[in-house]
Structure 1
Amino acid sequence: MSLKLNELTSLGWTSFFAEQLDENDANLIPARISEVRRDVVMALSADGVVDLITPPDMSVSELAVGDWVLARSENRVERVLERRTRINRRAAGHDARSQLIAANVDVLFVTTSCNADFNAARLERYLVMAASAGCVPVLVLTKADLEEAAPYIEQAQELQLGLAVVALNAKNPDAVAQLMEHWQAGETAALLGSSGVGKSTLTNALTGVVDGAPLTAAIREDDAKGRHTTTTRNLYPALNGRWVIDTPGMRELQLLDAQDGIGAVFADLEELSAQCKFRNCAHGGEPGCAIGAAIKIGDLSEDRLTRWQKLTQEDALNTETVHEARSRGKATTRYQRRTQEEAASRKGKHKKRR
């Protein structure tokens, strides 16, 4: 991608970031991270694309696509500006750590398709992630030309009160206009969802196809899945002064620090729970349970209750586990530092005796 930008505002720079600067930053260059690699990051500045390295005390894993950083003239990151929004999850696998997905995203297009990929439990996880991050969620139903979209739209609207739902054909020129109704000039959007649902096809359309190179691969008609073409997260300039982040499909999405997001997506259950007779109601058949009463008369499905409870328990466990791991890491670092200082002190005393 080759860019020459004259103003930071065209990259998404706003007063929120400008207000974080002080007189000590006069010689530093603001830049926005467009890709995170193994040992360097690609970034966009007012003068174009730059490769940046991180200082010894900063890992590239601490940066996310969409971040604003201040860099020195020798192309080294000096500091990361506070994020307006932050999308993260518990890292896949057994590692008890938080993984950054993207930063400073305004609109999150949660993307699924009108076929077997539609999964209420997984979509609720994405919506919780969006709410926790502070992004505006929009649920995008692709392949609406291949299946009757109405049933999927109805199911999608039941996932969160007031949720915007868009059904489209990602290859239709009208798809761009449909998404831009929810996405203003100067804002950054990100597309999240499973592999093969059309995220990269939409990115092609929204960007006018970056450098003329298609980002998508063919869809296998027998199982409605696509080859996993996006392998890294990238920030691209979109049409009409917008920005878009394309992401790989996620095989695992474990929530972390998502209590507020769960409350937003399951606001109906939170409200009902407050009406239960007992404050510690477990909603398992206790007398005076408002949620149980709603299920009994058909206003609420038992599956939705189960998903709410599962996400709440999972988030609490993951959050506690990661915070404990951080505490152990800090304690280990303090111990190592103290041990090194004591060794240096003993070495100094030994030299004096000699």
Structure 2
Amino acid sequence: MARDYSHFLPASGDIPKRERSPLENLGWKPFFSQQTSVAELVDTPPVRVVEIHRSGLRLFGDGIDITIPPGPEATVGDWLLYDQHHPSRSKVLERSSVFERRAPGTDHERQLIGANVDTAFIVSSCNDDFNVARLERYVALAFEAEVTPVILLTKVDLCDDPAAYVEAASAISNRVVVEVLNARTDEPIAKLSPWCKHGQTIAFLGSSGVGKSTLVNALFKSNIAATAAIREDDSKGRHTTTHRQLHFAPDGCAILDTPGIRELQLTNAEAGIAELFDDIVTLVSQCRFRDCSHETEPGCAIQKALTEGEIDAPRLARWNKLVAEERFNSSTLAERKASGKSLHKMIRSVQKKNRK
């Protein structure tokens, strides 16, 4: 017979709650404290990056609210050990997760989007701006960072029937939850609460005009983020959030609001893409030839799956595009230059032979 130990427990409602520290309210966890020593914490107190501007980084800590000059290679959400004597030399702690993309333009540079995020709310509206390929990119980004992705479909009040949008979003991955909500009601608080807990950091990702800032305001029950209406002619949004900023809810959840990303070029996301398209990757391993191009070779598992309807051609095309893009963006500038030199050398050799 099992013994009853209930009399050793405090009565319901009398269980004392440990008061959380100011750092814990900012998202400080054992993962970060294990990277430091007691002496470091005294000499260089932990601070979290909450905003980044051209003029510098805004930092929050225990009794600290300061802006330091540019210096540390940090992004919003990062934890730093603040060097009060040389702020620009403050040490960036190892990240539990990081979002990055290839920076817009022709330079082969990466751009950090956010760090130390636990859940990514990938927001899309139920209108002409809905795009499966774009959602796949965000999900791959989250998988690569080992962050939990959740797809949020907004503006359902302006849609006759969101069922088609839900079906398309749900087909992206069986590991991603899809939530449909009206951002201007109490639905966000009720439906998003499982992920918005104390000590958690969530990020809203998506293009402009999908309702990211409206969702932030809904969670705070106040207008802390600027919003604007979409254009009626093409359902496109306007940039209302001009920079990435970390907000802290009263319940201790950190909320990262980001500007709309018009172009999400993936880099260093091979694992995330493979995880998103795990069915296709599995088929690739079953091809007869290792260097199969999945076009006309005999024993191609991809072509067989297409013929038998196991995978569809548009999804395969998106996988091919993302793999090629990721490889190109992840190659170093030196490798690309070397590849370019080899190509030019080969062309010159052929031209020389033709002249002879």
Q: Deviations over 1:142-176 (max 9, x none)?
A: 11222211111111111123211111111111122
Deviation at 1:298, TM superposition (A): 1.9
- Structure 2 residue aligned with 1:288, among 289, 293, 299? 299
Aligned-residue identity in percent: 44
Q: Which residue pairs with 1:101 in the alignment?
A: 113
Q: Which residue pairs with 1:68 in the alignment?
A: 79
Separation in 1, partners of 2:196, 2:63: 26
Separation in 1, partners of 2:335, 2:212: 36
| SS of residue paired to 2:263 | coil
Find out whether 1:246 has 2:257 as its counterpart. Answer: yes
**Amino acid paired to 2:238:** R
TM-score of the superposition, structure 2-length normalised?
Answer: 0.84
Check 1:80–1:185 CA distance in 2 against 1; reply closer, same or farther (3 A cut): same
Q: Deviations over 1:102-144 (max 9, x none)?
A: 0000101111111111111111111111111111111111112
Q: Which residue pairs with 1:7 in the alignment?
A: 22
Q: Which residue pairs with 2:178 in the alignment?
A: 165
User: How is 1:68-217 mapped onto 2 (pairs within 5 angstroms)?
Assistant: 68-74=79-85, 76-77=87-88, 78-147=90-159, 148-209=161-222, 212-217=223-228
Find out whether 1:260 has 2:276 as its counterpart. Answer: no
Q: Deviations over 1:24-47 (max 9, x none)?
A: 513111100000111311111111
Q: Which residue pairs with 1:313 in the alignment?
A: 324
Q: Deviations over 1:242-283 (max 9, x none)?
A: 111010111111111111011111111111212222222221
Deviation at 1:218, TM superposition (A): 2.2
Separation in 1, partners of 2:85, 2:175: 48
Deviation at 1:75, TM superposition (A): 7.4
Structure 1 moving runs of 4+ over 4 Å: 322-327
Q: Deviations over 1:78-120 (max 9, x none)?
A: 2111111011011110111111100000101111111111111
- Structure 2 residue aligned with 1:27, among 29, 36, 43? 43
- Structure 2 unpaired stretches of 5+: 1-19, 339-356
TM-score of the superposition, structure 1-length normalised?
Answer: 0.84
Separation in 1, partners of 2:276, 2:333: 23
Separation in 2, partners of 1:322, 1:251: 24
Q: Which residue pairs with 1:37 in the alignment?
A: 53
Separation in 1, partners of 2:178, 2:137: 16
Separation in 1, partners of 2:24, 2:313: 48
Q: Which residue pairs with 1:330 in the alignment?
A: none
Check 1:73–1:321 CA distance in 2 against 1; reply closer, same or farther (3 A cut): closer
Q: Deviations over 1:270-329 (max 9, x none)?
A: 1121222222222113222222222222221101111111111111111113575899xx
> Are 1:161 and 1:265, in contact at CA under 8 Å, matched by a contact in 2?
no
> Are 2:119 and 2:148, in contact at CA under 8 Å, matched by a contact in 1?
yes
Check 1:173–1:48 CA distance in 2 against 1; reply closer, same or farther (3 A cut): farther
Separation in 2, partners of 1:116, 1:230: 21
| SS of residue paired to 1:241 | coil
> Are 1:6 and 1:47, in contact at CA under 8 Å, matched by a contact in 2?
no
Check 1:103–1:213 CA distance in 2 against 1; reply closer, same or farther (3 A cut): closer
> Are 1:218 and 1:227, in contact at CA under 8 Å, matched by a contact in 2?
yes
- Indicate the RMSD between aligned Cα atoms, in angstroms: 2.1
Deviation at 1:221, TM superposition (A): 3.0
Find out whether 1:277 has 2:288 as its counterpart. Answer: yes
> Are 1:28 and 1:70, in contact at CA under 8 Å, matched by a contact in 2?
yes
- Structure 1 unpaired stretches of 5+: 328-354
> Are 2:49 and 2:77, in contact at CA under 8 Å, matched by a contact in 1?
yes
